[in-house]
Amino acid sequence: MFNYPLDVVMVPLQIILFLFTMYFFIIGFCGMWRKSEKKFTTPQKKFAVIVAAHNESAVIAPLIKNLLSLKYPRELYDVYVIADNCHDNTAEIAEKAGAIVCVRVDKEKKSKGFALEWMFEKIFAMEQDGKFYDAVCIFDADNLVHPNFLMEMNNRLLKGDKIIQGFLDAKNPYDTWVSGTFAIAFWIIDHVSHLAKTNIGLSAVLGGTGMCITVDVLKRHGWRATCLTEDMEFTMKSLAEGLKTTWAHDAVVYDEKPLTFKQSWTQRKRWAQGQFDVAHRFIPKLIVEGWRQKDIRIWDGCIYLLQPHFLMLSAFFMVISYIQLATGPIFTNIYSVMPSQIMTAIMIGQYLLPMIILIKVRAKIKSWFYMLLYPIFIYTWIPIIFLGFIHRNEHEWAHTKHTRSMSYDDMKNFEGRGD
């Protein structure tokens, strides 16, 4: 029986929050190990390496130099740069650096998703001239790439994978506390979400860069991912069609993280808008397809898309809990009657998992200090998520300016770097 009028809302809410928490908590621990793997080491697959660039003259040259020196036969990959609606000399710099430059101008369809769709059509058309690729690899212009990236993707493709996400690392994890906490967040997600789900047979999620997709899949199913989070849109569209995303832990891409809190806020708000947009369009379809195909991976995709809704409910619960502290009992707190061991394990786990991951990535001492500021990164998601929900139907692309220009060798020798 409910003891207070609010129990009709608060008791089911607490049960939902507890089940969500336990679900992610249990999956997270599955990312603390890696399955042993025998790898294919003979290069066989041919790649079109695609870099989407919009006004990226400050960072594009080091990436092209990096890509052209990967430890993979040069005859088995080509590097393309989409100079997308650029107002600077990105195209000239990229061409001088050795890339094949494709200039795109479209004032109406301006997002990265549209640029990739345009480029894929060009890749398909090349087959008429006898130029064939097995897969495309997609990077952002601010990235740097591990020399073994294509070899690792070759291994995954030879094992039958069709959609693959590489390890998302940081190019500048020690520049500022913002880039530092951003890097920590990515390291954690890499392990407790992507690696964990791959370990237990669920689907990872594409992360916007460091992606590999077979040309066959793109031709058969189409890209059709043009929202603010085109990577998530394509992941969920593919999942509904029975295609999961796999994780290549050793295919590492280094991404430039925001240097300022304002940049971080803008980027995360765009992600929140895009995830709400994708969630509201795909969750009904995923539920139906999950039931029809009897595939738990599809239902897990639904739960992934519900994460911002989960955070909104958590924020609502916190507000009501603070009101109860000030006014006295107004609802039944079910957590107070749960076994203390469960709550203790959750409390310890939320601090233990990040520390284990910092050790696994060999993070330097600066990252451990940034962990003290990590709660700021986490709790500022709350207003960002609500703003993302309010603006979920807006699709104006907000470009993040990239300025951290360094070579791959510079990054590896960067003082304090732990990998």
Return the pLDDT at 384: 96
Return the pLDDT at 400: 65
Whether 418 maps to a domain, the answer reads: no
Tell me the DSSP string of 8-45. Answer: HHHHHHHHHHHHHHHHHHHHHHTTSS----PPP-S---
Q: Kindly report the pTM of this predicted structure.
A: 0.91
Return the pLDDT at 416: 38
Residue tagged 């809704």 (tokens): 309
Q: What is the pLDDT of residues 91-105, one digit of tens each?
A: 999 999 999 999 999
Whether 419 maps to a domain, the answer reads: no
Whether 351 maps to a domain, the answer reads: yes
Return the pLDDT at 415: 41
What's the mean pLDDT in 255-272?
93
- Kindly report the average pLDDT of the chain as a whole number: 90
What's the mean pLDDT in 265-290?
94
Return the pLDDT at 394: 80
Cβ proximity of 78 and 115 under 8 Å? no
pLDDT at 414 over 60: no
Q: What are phi and psi of 301, to 5 degrees?
A: -60, -40
Q: Which domain holds residue 402?
A: 1-33+40-413
Cβ proximity of 233 and 272 under 8 Å? no
Lowest mean per-residue pLDDT among 135-144, 244-253, 298-307, 339-348: 339-348
What's the mean pLDDT in 382-408?
79
Q: What is the DSSP letter of 191?
A: I
Instruction: Spell out the residues 6+ positions from residue 394 whose beta carbon is closer than 8 angstroms to its own.
Output: 273
- From CA 381, how far away is CA 299, in angstroms rounded? 24
The domain that contains 312 carries what CATH number? Answer: 3.90.550.10
Each as own residue / partner, the long-range contacts of residues 301-304 (CB below 8 Å, 24 or more positions apart, any chain) are 301/203, 301/235, 301/236, 301/239, 301/240, 303/20, 303/23, 304/193, 304/205
Is residue 337 packed enough to be buried (19+ CB in 10 Å), middle (13-18) or exposed (0-12)? exposed
Return the pLDDT at 403: 64
Whether 148 maps to a domain, the answer reads: yes
- From CA 344, how far away is CA 360, in angstroms rounded? 24
- From CA 162, how far away is CA 334, in angstroms rounded? 44
Helix 261-293 × helix 296-305 angle, to 10°: 150
Return the pLDDT at 344: 72
Return the pLDDT at 120: 96
Cβ proximity of 392 and 279 under 8 Å? no
Cβ proximity of 132 and 234 under 8 Å? no
Other beta carbons less than 10 A from residue 60's beta carbon? 28
Whether 142 maps to a domain, the answer reads: yes
What's the mean pLDDT in 249-266?
94
1 pLDDT band (50/70/90 cuts)? low
Q: What is the pLDDT of residues 362-380, one digit of tens each?
A: 999 999 999 999 999 999 9
What's the mean pLDDT in 296-303?
95
Return the pLDDT at 392: 87
Q: Per residue in 278-287, is it b (16+ CB within 10 Å) or e — as a string?
A: bbeebbebbe
Return the pLDDT at 149: 98
SS3 string, 126-154, reads HHHHCCCCCEEEEEECCCEECCCHHHHHH
Q: How many domains does the chain have?
A: 1
Rg from Cα positions in the chain: 22
Whether 356 maps to a domain, the answer reads: yes
Other beta carbons less than 10 A from residue 163's beta carbon? 24
Whether 23 maps to a domain, the answer reads: yes
Half-sphere exposure of 18 (CA within 13 A, CB side): 15
Whether 215 maps to a domain, the answer reads: yes
- From CA 112, how far away is CA 102, in angstroms rounded? 14
